[in-house]
Amino acid sequence: MKKVFIIIISLFTVFTFAQDLAIVQYKGGGDWYSNPTALPNLIAYCNANINTKMNAKPLSVEVGSIDIFQYPLLHMTGHGNVFFSDADAENLKNYLISGGFLHIDDNYGMEPYVTKELKKVFPNAELIELPTSHEIFSIVYKFPDGLPKIHEHDGKKPQAFGLFHEDRLVLLFTFESDLGDGWEDSEVHNDPEDVREKALKMGANIIKYAFEN
C-alpha cells in the first residue's frame, strides 16, 4: 500500500510542477557534475526563444530520491562509470512511467555503463535509434538529418536513441554528438558560433518535446 501511495503522489507531482529541469546525480564515480555552464546557457536560450520560464540555475537531484518527481525533465551527463542500485532503478522507472522524461547526453565514455544500467530500469526494453522523421527533430527547429554533430570524439555519426513505454518516448540518449559541450560558454571548447547554435537549438527541441509530451 505504501508503494502505491508514493506512486500516486509522484504522478500528481510530475503533472503539476512548473516547467523546470534538474541534473541527475548518480553513483559509480562518473562526473555527473561536468559541463557546469551548459544547462544555465541552454535554459537562458530557451527562456529567450521558446517561451519557457525555467529557473536560471538548475539544481541537482539524486536518482534514487523522490525529489526527481518535482521535475518533468531530468538531464544526465558525464564521462565515466554509472551505477544504479535496485532502489535507484525502481525510482527512475516509476518517474518515467509517471510522465517524466530523462535526457542522457554522453559527454564521452558513458555508453557502455548507461546501456548496462538501463537494463535495471526497463529489463525488457531496448534503446532504439530514432528516425530523422521523429518529432523531436522538428518540434521547434528543423534538423532534417537528425542529431547534429558537435564534437568529433571517435568520429562516429551522432545517434539519438530512445526508450519507449507504452508508445511514449520517456528517455533520450544522445551519443557521439556531445550537445552539452556545445551548450557551454564559448571559451570552454572554442566551438564556432554556428556549431553552438545547432547544439542550443537541438537542446531547445528536447526541452520543448519533454514539456509537451
Give the CATH number for residue 153.
Answer: 3.40.50.12140
What confidence score (pLDDT) does residue 189 get?
Answer: 64
Below-50 pLDDT ranges, the chain: 1-17
DSSP state for residue 19 in the 8-state scheme: S
Cα(65)–Cα(206) distance, rounded to whole angstroms? 23
Other beta carbons less than 10 A from residue 129's beta carbon: 14
Residue 18: the pLDDT is: 65
Nearest to 28 by CA among 73, 58, 62: 62
Determine the pLDDT at residue 15.
Answer: 43
Give CA separation, 36 vs 23, 39, 161, 183, 205, in Å: 10, 7, 24, 10, 21
* Set of cell numbers at residue 99: 510522465
Domain, as residue range, for 58: 2-212
Q: Model-level pTM?
A: 0.90
* Beta strand 159-165 pairing with 168-175: antiparallel
**Quick one: pLDDT at residue 153?**
66
Query: How many independent structural domains does the chain possess?
Result: 1
